[in-house]
């Protein structure tokens, strides 16, 4: 078995190791701020109709100008964005109804909402290196200042589906920007198992547990289907892979792969040809695991999931592929034809 | 090295305790792997949403994502 796939098989347990401790600590810290359950979102007016678009922060957003096309089409349905895509949405003139945030990292995630406390470049090169939002690659401070202003301006129109694992700094920033918070618990483990952390969390705060699928984009899809009840979901920016030509050094987990594998780190990347575009995208073990998990969840879901990214690596049983334009045309016409 | 294996002589080579080395390697790999993980867990073969014991029977009947709202 390829090295990358072998590592991917270990990531369900590895993710638990990574996030459970800090996620539970954040849940305790956030407890006094919890006022609404995410279930209330289902009763809240969002977009019209049955169709929804879930926006991830993958490179296809820029390559395919997905957000500009979404804006120009005047899509009337519900728009749910991963936190990492919020800046791209607002810069493109798309105000999502709901933003989803889950990552417990104490410092990084607040930047997706514009960090008013940022006065100089941090030692952490994450935002200069990551492929998700190239706006941060150049002048980090200017990009952050612009985002602070955008989020301050549109925050009161945006609802945040906040996991209890979210860093308190993110919660504070969202409240400061006038965003309404709707809370949920990440599902950490089997709630039927003895000593389950998920069950302990539910007993503590009474909030529903969502099976997050490894990353915030997948969690946004879960929420759109399982909480909002949308039966037709189009995906943009959920590539779960790296675009052709992306240097390995610019990938999400590059430093960690080098630390783990040394000179063999290149063997961890998995290259795949997209069946429609014929482009060769690639994944690292994490993205490969995210893809497998998404397909497993989508196969069993009682909804239509349409990949409108026009690229990426998310294809297989349970997910149909269509252009964004055809999905939007179908949504506007109220038809159900896809693929 | 366990005390009961020590003799009244000295050897020129340094003997590494393989059990300790293996533990150390495992721990390094575990820590390194955890840094490769995602930002939220995935629990295989469970429903997409769990709302507590009131839904226990329904959630149990569902596979991952099967009409699990």
pLDDT confidence of A129, banded at 50, 70, 90? low
User: Rounded distance, CA A195 to CA A313, Å?
Assistant: 36
Looking at residue A319, the DSSP 8-state letter turns out to be B
Secondary structure of B13-63 as H, E, C letters: CCCCCHHHHHHHHHHHHHHHHHHHCCCCCCCCCCCCEECCHHHHHHHHHCC
Mean pLDDT of A36-45: 96
A202 contact residues in B (CB cutoff 8 A): 50, 52
Find the mean pLDDT for residues A100-111: 93
Contacts of B37 in chain A (CB under 8 A): 11, 14-19, 214, 286
Q: Which residue from A17, A165, A187 is facing B43, i.e. has the nearest CB?
A: A187
Judged by CB atoms closer than 8 Å, whether chains meet at B33 and A14 is answered as yes
**Residue A324: helix, strand or coil by DSSP?**
helix
What CA–CA distance (Å, rounded) separates A236 from A200?
Answer: 35
What is the gyration radius of the CA atoms in chain A, in angstroms?
19
Instruction: Give the span between the Cα atoms of B52 and B60, in whole angstroms.
Output: 11
Q: Do A212 and B42 touch (CB under 8 A)?
A: yes
- Residue A104 contacts B where some CB pair is shorter than 8 Å: yes
CB contact under 8 A, B40 and A11: no
Token pair belonging to A312: 């990426």
- Tell me how close the Cα of B24 comes to any Cα of chain A, in angstroms: 14
Entry pTM: 0.88
Q: In whole angstroms, what is the distance from residue A216 CA to residue A270 CA?
A: 22
CB within 8 Å: A206 and B32: no
Is A229 in Cβ contact with B66 (below 8 Å)? no
Give A284's contacts (C-beta < 8 A, 6+ positions apart): A4, A242, A251, A252, A253, A257, A268, A269, A270, B36
- Look-up: residue for tokens 């638990």? A16
A298 contacts in B (CB within 8 Å)? 65
pLDDT in tens, B34-64: 889 999 999 998 999 999 987 544 443 343 3
ipTM score of complex: 0.91
Give the tens place of pLDDT for each residue, A184-228: 999 999 999 999 999 999 999 999 999 999 999 999 999 999 999
Contact between residue A308 and residue A322 where contact means Cβ atoms under 8 Å apart: yes
CB neighbours of residue A6 within 10 Å:
12
């Amino acid at each position: 078995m390829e090295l990358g796939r072998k590592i991917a098989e270990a990531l369900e347990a590895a993710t638990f190791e990574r996030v459970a401790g800090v996620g539970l600590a954040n849940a305790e810290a956030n407890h006094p701020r919890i006022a609404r359950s995410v279930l209330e979102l289902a009763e809240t007016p969002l977009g019209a109709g049955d169709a929804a678009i879930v926006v991830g922060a993958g490179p296809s957003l820029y390559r395919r100008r997905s957000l500009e096309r979404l804006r120009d089409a005047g899509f009337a349905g519900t728009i749910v964005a991963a936190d990492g895509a919020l800046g791209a949405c607002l810069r493109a003139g798309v105000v999502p109804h709901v933003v989803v945030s889950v990552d417990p990292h104490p410092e990084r995630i607040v930047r997706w909402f514009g960090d008013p406390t940022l006065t100089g470049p941090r030692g952490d090169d994450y935002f200069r290196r990551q492929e998700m939002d190239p706006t941060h690659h150049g002048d980090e401070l200017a990009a952050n200042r612009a985002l602070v202003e955008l989020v301050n301006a549109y925050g009161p129109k945006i609802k945040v589906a906040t996991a209890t694992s979210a860093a308190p700094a993110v919660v504070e920033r969202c409240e400061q920007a006038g965003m309404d918070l709707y809370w949920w618990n990440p599902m950490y483990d089997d709630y039927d198992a003895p000593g389950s952390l998920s069950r302990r969390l539910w007993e503590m705060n009474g909030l529903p547990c969502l099976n997050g699928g490894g990353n915030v984009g997948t969690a946004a899809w879960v929420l759109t289907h399982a909480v909002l009840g949308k039966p037709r979901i189009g995906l943009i920016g959920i590539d779960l892979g790296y675009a052709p030509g992306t240097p390995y050094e610019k990938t999400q987990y590059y430093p960690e792969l080098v630390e783990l594998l040394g000179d063999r780190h290149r063997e961890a990347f998995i290259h795949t040809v997209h069946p429609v575009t014929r482009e060769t995208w690639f994944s690292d073990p994490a993205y490969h695991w995210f893809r497998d998990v998404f397909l497993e969840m989508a196969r069993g879901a009682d909804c239509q999931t349409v990949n409108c990214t026009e690229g990426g690596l998310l294809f297989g049983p349970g997910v149909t592929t269509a252009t964004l334009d055809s999905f939007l045309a179908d949504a506007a016409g109220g038809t159900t034809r896809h693929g | 090295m366990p005390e009961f294996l020590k003799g009244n002589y000295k050897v020129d080579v340094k003997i590494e305790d393989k059990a300790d080395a293996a533990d150390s390697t495992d721990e390094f790999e575990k820590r390194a792997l955890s840094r490769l993980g995602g930002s939220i867990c995935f629990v295989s073969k469970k429903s997409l949403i769990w709302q507590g014991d009131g839904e226990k029977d329904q959630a149990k009947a569902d596979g991952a994502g099967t009409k699990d709202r």
